[in-house]
Chain A
Amino acid sequence: MAYEEPIRDYDRIVENCTCAFCGCNCDDLTYLVKNEHVVGVRHACRLGASKIMEDMDQRLLVPLIRNEAGELVETDWDTALDKAAELIANSVRPVFYGWSETSIETMKQGIKLGEYVGAVLDNQATICHGPSLQAVQNSGYPVNTLGEVKNRADMIVYTGSNAMNSHPRHLARYAAFPRGYFRKKGRFDRTIVTMDPRYTDTAKMSDIWVGFNPNGDYEFYTALRAVLRGKKLKEDKVSGIPRETIEELAEAMKTTEYGCLFFGLGLTHSLAKQRNIDAGIRLIQDLNKYSKWNLIPMRGHFNVNGFNIFMSFEMGFPYGVDFSRGYPRYMNGETNTIDLLTREEVDVFMVIAADPGAHFPGGANRHLANIPVIQIDIHWGPSTELADVVLPGSFVGVEVAGTSYRMDGVPIYMKKAIDKPETCRDDEWIVRELYERVQKIKGEKIASK
């Protein structure tokens, strides 16, 4: 890797900014700003830095509408908003998907619009930690804030999560390396365990790697819990892990002073889905009889937890909330984006601060080719290739301020560091405009009846 000169050419610095990438929400970033552009970022990881110093080549700057020929053409805000509002107002089964990369303030407008038109509001949890939330609903939610881990934990388990790649500063800032109040020697005071079928980058820097078979998570956790209860395992190997290893691991987890389990998409995406996490949660509950254990889901986007929290306090359900009958409904497999798309029920799809084109399976995206898609985002991405109306938003945490919730539920007010491009608008403003325009169209409809 080539050596890079430190950046010295900047006008001003902005301190204590919050990273708008993953669920770590590191709030100690320093932006180096030149000509109202972030030209350098201090303290951030590679992911955070690259997102904040975005690729301006692909920045969406003006509203676009798809023309007859199938090409996106520039238009003005009024036309684009009216077009989008009309699509929403006339829809029967609209889905508003996304929200995890925007602020709580935008969601407040979104829920107004969703409740008003009877839409389904869903966020990225539906394709990442949705099963975790279902498991939480089945088994409980023993969590802590990351500072507890930093100050107390002497054993840290990553399961189904490659933190070194997807949450690079997680180990450095919160879990493995920092020196905590009761862990003055930092990494040397802690045991790091990684459970993953692959020998990932996180596994490589752990003390123990447990490489169970793909799709063998549920059996493995069951065996671990059985051993905790004093059972002698029948099989020599469970899910590819030798009996003795499981016994040793159970003993180590029992005798630790404070443990924390971090779990990721490896568990939610494999065969037994929410039951893997269900078993993990129960494992933590069992362990608390002997020692102190907690867990935290490794949330991917900086505000994916925020949407779940926001929907829960507004409507009692965390995601996949269906307002179609005038009251909220939450039913897995019925009111979730992927199911609605694969069942081809959706008739208007609005995506805000998300990228289904990049993240939804083809079987779900295929329906997006049949229906109008409204996109509110900052970059031209795979979803733009499927979008009919494109509304350029702005970058929360850099160009606009807003509230977000960290993976452990700590709220952070992300401040504004630079001005947004002149032609862009705040997400909050766009959704409020849509709400007002939809109200007007619907009001006219009622009046004409």
Chain B
Amino acid sequence: MEYILKNGTVYDPTNNIDGEKKDVMFKDGKIVDNVSSNAKELDVTDKIVMAAGVDPHSHIAGPKLVVGRLYRPEDSRKGIVPKTDVTRAETGFSIPSCPATGYRYSRMGYGTVIEAAMPPLEAKHTHEEIVAIPNIDIAALPLFGNNWFVLEYAKENNIDDLAALISKWLRLTRGYGVKIVNPGGSEAWGWGMNVHGVDDPVPYWDVTSREVIHALAEANEKLGLPHSIHLHPNDLGHPGNYETTVESMDIVKDVAKNSPVRNQTVHMTHIQYHSYAGTNWRDFESGAEDVAKFINNNDYVTCDVGQITLDETTTMTADAPMEFDLHQLNGLKWANKDIELETAAGIVPFIYSGRNSVHSVQWAIGLEMFMMVENPWQIMLTTDSPNAGPFIRYPRVISWLMSNKRRLEMIENGEVHKAVGRKSVIATLDREYDFNEIATISRAAPAKAYGFEDKGHLGVGARADIAVYDINPNTIDPSNDYEAIERAFGNAALTVKDGQILVKDGQVVSTKESQTIWTNVKGLEEKEAVLMEKIMPVFDKYYTVKYENYPVFDNYVPNPIEVNVQAGK
């Protein structure tokens, strides 16, 4: 089937197209530069055309999501939408059910989402959920930062074995890249402890976060994976943690990049939670400036923000000790999930409120990061969904970014606490994003960071993942019409995925099966075999599943997009 999107205003930062009136054509699921006269014409005059969104960090599938859904029926009840002829019933607000997740991303014009934390032991579960989510392509990042084997090899600085381990485990779990969460901290949580800072040794293992991050970054580059290490550093949400964050980024400065498809060697995730100054919650204030300065001076770093949206949400992270602290703070129901030899996770409902000074300053810190990081290719739009807010709030965040007026209004109207004025400088930052920058932070930059060469742009040969928003960029003033911006980005006029029209005027009109993106590293088969001989005795003794039953089998990944990587090339 051939289509032509006529007369849209195209924003495609990857191909340096900044608001040109231009037709976009696609055929058989790919963007092409011409179509036959049979092509179906869709008029998008005075509308914005972008590549479909790419979410670089979101929690949408996996064991901790399911614990969240299972133990928060009061949240599931919030987003109920009855089934239609096309769609199944939807439930959930902060942790939507799988079908709802797919439909809601489609309605926002998104096409690809990264599930940011997959415990290898329960990878099958994550993939089952990915299959249950319609409409979007999903890549999952397995957790490596607290894996016993990783801790051991990092301590020995045994990069060869570590690289072979990553290569093997990506195949075993059908994962995409290396995720590190609170390195050492989640293992310490096995004894109810945590680590603080990058030089605090992990109990028993006697390895530091610094060693783990550096070793994994080196192994990652040795393999030349399409994504860099994806780092959630230590001390999340602690006042004064910006120093740890800056140190963590500094650790990998000597690691040489070994991949042409991306620019960074470390991706710092939900940086908002890691940019706090002060020493306790009383004198807590923004530390965004130092973090942003480091990022501006070092182009090997990219980050996503994790913007607070001031909603009642569900926090969930593999940083389990942090979640327990959070539970002690707010007293709401605490769920925890420790996974043998690998990782841990915690979940706590959380009510972010503009009336609370801390939450308001957190809100300001996220926006400060957006304002202070100069290069939009280094910063990406996320809410660390659902931690800082559900992903359905992206349009609202976009409206904040595009409207200084709206931000000041929120501060002046008391929609956020007055502490924002004292403890952050957001009121003094009058930068406003334009549509090109929005297209960068929500599609082009994430696609680049993940090495997706056929996503996040509209060049010939790219996948026909396209979003059309009903905004006339020539007449709209986003600063004033922030509500229109939010509405338009929340209800795509058209969402096209692989050439199939999924959404029309904010309504899901058709659905398709999701695809799973994973990295298959080749060339290390022999080293892997040698490594496995070393690992097997430990595996047999301390895991509670048999190795034969451990991998994710092909039937869990019915629609794979296999990214083949030749190790070290």
Contact = CB atoms under 8 A, between A and B. Distances in A.
Q: Does chain A touch chain B in the assembled complex, meaning CB atoms less than 8 Å apart?
A: yes
Interface stretch (A342-350, A404-412, A424-432): A404-412
Contacts of B204: 182
B548 interface: yes
* Candidate in B69, B77, B125, B544 with the most chain A CB atoms within 10 angstroms: B544
Contact of B128 (A140, A146, A182, A403): A403
Given A142-B335, A313-B129, A328 B340 contact: no
Given A140-B71, A292-B192, A315-B97, A115 B88 contact: yes
* Candidate in A285, A313, A317 with the most chain B CB atoms within 10 angstroms: A313
Contacts, number: 191
Interface stretch (B59-67, B290-298, B385-393): B59-67
A139 B124 CA distance: 28
A141 B335 contact: yes
A374 to B, nearest CB: 24
A137 B542 contact: no
A312 B124 CA distance: 16
Contact of B190 (A146, A258, A318): A258
Given A308-B70, A313-B69, A144 B337 contact: yes
Contact of A410 (B89, B122, B190): B122
Interface string A286-301: 0011011010000000
Contacts of A146: 340, 544
B341 A151 contact: yes
A272 to B, nearest CB: 18
B503 interface: no
A18 interface: yes
Contacts of B347: 141
B334 interface: yes
A136 B543 CA distance: 26
A327 B340 contact: no
A314 B99 CA distance: 7
Given A144-B338, A148-B340, A315-B89, A327 B97 contact: no
B544 A173 contact: yes
A415 B545 CA distance: 14
Contacts of A16: 546, 548-549
Interface stretch (B79-87, B237-245, B261-269, B440-448): B79-87
B80 A327 contact: yes
B379 to A, nearest CB: 31
B91 interface: yes
B72 interface: yes
B125 A411 contact: yes
A177 interface: no
Interface in B245-299: none
B428 to A, nearest CB: 41
Contacts of A142: 334-336
B83 A115 contact: yes
B522 interface: no
A326 interface: yes
Contacts of B70: 133, 136-137, 141, 308-309, 312, 318
Contacts of A138: 333
Given A285-B334, A409-B63, A326 B549 contact: no
Contacts of A315: 76, 89, 91, 97
B73 A412 contact: no
B553 to A, nearest CB: 6
B235 to A, nearest CB: 20
Contacts of A257: 191
Contact of A145 (B74, B99, B338): B338
A325 B83 CA distance: 9
A138 B72 CA distance: 9
A325 to B, nearest CB: 7
Interface in B394-433: none
B4 interface: no
* Candidate in A16, A28, A147, A323 with the most chain B CB atoms within 10 angstroms: A147
B334 A152 contact: no
Contacts of A326: 82-83, 89
Given A146-B544, A150-B340, 16 more contacts: A15-B548, A137-B72, A139-B333, A141-B70, A142-B336, A148-B339, A151-B340, A152-B191, A312-B69, A312-B70, A312-B97, A313-B98, A313-B128, A326-B83, A330-B77, A411-B125
Which 5 A-B pairs give the minimum distances between C-beta atoms?
A: A147-B340, A316-B76, A316-B91, A292-B192, A144-B338
Interface of B: 61, 63, 65-67, 69-77, 80-83, 88-92, 95-100, 121-122, 124-125, 128-129, 132, 189-192, 204, 324, 327-328, 333-341, 347, 541-546, 548-549, 553, 555-556
14 contacts: A133-B70, A140-B71, A140-B336, A142-B335, A143-B338, A145-B544, A147-B340, A147-B543, A150-B340, A150-B542, A315-B89, A317-B91, A327-B91, A405-B125
